[in-house]
Amino acid sequence: MSQDSHPADENGYDGGHPSTHRATEDLHRGRRAAEQLAACGESAVGPLRDYLLNGPPSHIFQPRQWAVQALARLGAWPVLLEYLELPKDIPDPVTRFGEEAVENTAARALAARQTEEVFRALLRLAGRRLLPGVIEALGTFRRPETADLFIMALGDDLCRAAAEQSLRGLGAAALPALRAAARRGRRLRARETPTETLRRKSAARLLAELDRRQEWR
């Protein structure tokens, strides 16, 4: 073995930078491949974009999450936005659940990019589908105009925790929307759907919590 050579690691890499195309093929082997891709710098963005946008969704979703994380480390925000904006029609529920986990990872990564473009893109996505990562990311902007969206998300079992935390983050700015939601259906509770009941009860709890917080100040 020459002085310049290196033993191969468990992924088959020899210690130098792997080719970006080889590394994307090996993403299924573990996070190590994503870390090595990020170490390649800008040259890795193209192969990672192709893998994320053109690769098939799978119930084994972690490799696609690692690709998202590598793109975030590279600052490839436009690629993550492009990915989230793609229409996705995935009939198989298990595969769809896996791809939603990837979307949640992308949305949470974009929260680090506090720009109007990112905010509007996340808002558009939330208007089409409620995802906890998107609600969580929007909550980091602390924009009062998102209060009604967060109220809507209170009725979703997967999004409720993120929506509650986002409304807490809005503080006093969330109070008008919470009061309206807590009152809604008071006279017609017998006709409420289960989702509406969950939303109203969650809003009432949060309203009491935030009201107490205001009184202590």
Contact between 96 and 90 under an 8 Å Cβ cutoff? The reply is yes
pLDDT at 193: 87
**pTM above 0.85?**
no
Which parts of the chain sit beneath pLDDT 50? 1-18
Plot region of 113 (φ>0 → left; ψ -120 to 50 → alpha; else → beta): beta
What's residue 23's pLDDT?
56
Q: Over the stretch 139-166, which tens digit does the pLDDT of each residue have?
A: 999 999 999 999 999 999 999 999 999 9
Say what the pLDDT of residue 15 is.
37
Question: What pLDDT is stored for residue 40 in this prediction?
Answer: 84
What integer pLDDT is reported at residue 3 of this predicted model?
37
